Homo-oligomer: A and B are copies of this chain.
């Protein structure tokens, strides 16, 4: 079924059908009705490929996600969902491309075959070859995260350094003298993954600024790794009384390990960090944390990209989001004695909390 067939059945020319559909030129009411009737009867919709070829744009955007090997975190998942929804609202379709390494067939297809009008690039590393490729291909794009050399590109990011700094200050103000940062996976840290590196920056700064002792550990994006991180930390640092984390997927493990060690939050031990709101609220007790606005980021990334597609040569815009740290119940005054042997307290460790 194509526009020619509609025209034939309605007894008009193809251009009249086209104009009746687009409204870009007046069509007599009677003619329009005749055309519409045929269209309704046959369920005709213009072929997207032909239209794309003619118009020079596909009405699709590419979303470059980490490959399935590394499973996405909930935050990333929310982000993908909100991008797809925001794009749908703008009548744009989303083409998914799993890409992590630099030599990637799917990524190359995406950007060099004119399949999409623009790209949203997730999981940017501090040095990222894909940014160069995108720039070179002159394809509009928005990065989630920013490279060290970020002037030439549009990006939107969470201010991990600032937020971690904020949480460490909060802990220091509560009297904690030794705090740990539970970061992302060793692989991501080694690869120069922005949030991990910038979290470290903020941590290091705040720790020095407040004169507290700081220790950083890498931690896989799963509960088990979180558990092992805490176990290792407690072994190596019996005087540790607080952690801050940018690894939301580790939170259930962190919780379990603390419970197993007989440490009650926040009486014996404080936990804070940067995480999606649902993770934070799901923590026991609810986590004092900066809530990563994954949904907002998706929506904003799409509108930034649409803007960029419309005006590719305007100077790139950057959005650094610093959501407030929501004070919930997982942080408290440092225990009188360090955590090694928990001090007695109301509703303490071991007793069922029913």
Contacts and interface: CB of A to CB of B under 8 A. Distances in A.
Nearest to A115: B48
B95 A94 contact: yes
A95 B87 CA distance: 12
Contact of A252 (B46, B94, B252, B351): B252
A77 B66 CA distance: 13
A45 B109 CA distance: 8
11 contacts: A45-B108, A47-B113, A47-B114, A49-B49, A63-B96, A68-B84, A68-B85, A94-B96, A95-B95, A96-B96, A349-B352
Contacts of A256: 284
Identify whether the interface residues of A are mostly helix, strand, loop, or mixed.
mixed
| Most chain B beta carbons < 10 A, residue from A45, A261, A349 | A45
B77 A71 contact: yes
A101 B107 CA distance: 32
B85 A109 contact: no
A224 interface: yes
Considering the complex of A and B, which 6 residue pairs feature the smallest CB-CB distances, nearest first? A68-B81, A48-B113, A45-B112, A262-B352, A88-B106, A68-B85
Interface in A63-90: 63, 65, 67-68, 71-72, 74, 77-78, 81-82, 84-85, 88
A29 B285 CA distance: 71
A53 interface: yes
Contacts of A282: 222-224, 252
| Most chain B beta carbons < 10 A, residue from A82, A93, A278 | A93
Interface in A112-166: 112-115
Interface string A27-67: 00000000000000001011111101100001010010101
A49 B58 contact: yes
A75 to B, nearest CB: 11
B93 A97 contact: yes
Interface of A: 43, 45-50, 52-53, 58, 60, 63, 65, 67-68, 71-72, 74, 77-78, 81-82, 84-85, 88, 91, 93-98, 105-106, 108-110, 112-115, 222-224, 252, 256, 259-262, 278, 282, 284, 349-354
A65 B93 CA distance: 13
Contacts of A48: 109, 113-115
B47 A50 contact: no
Contact of A113 (B45, B222, B349): B45
Contact of A259 (B47, B261, B352): B352
Given A43-B112, A95-B93, A78 B84 contact: no
Contacts of A94: 95-96
B223 A261 contact: no
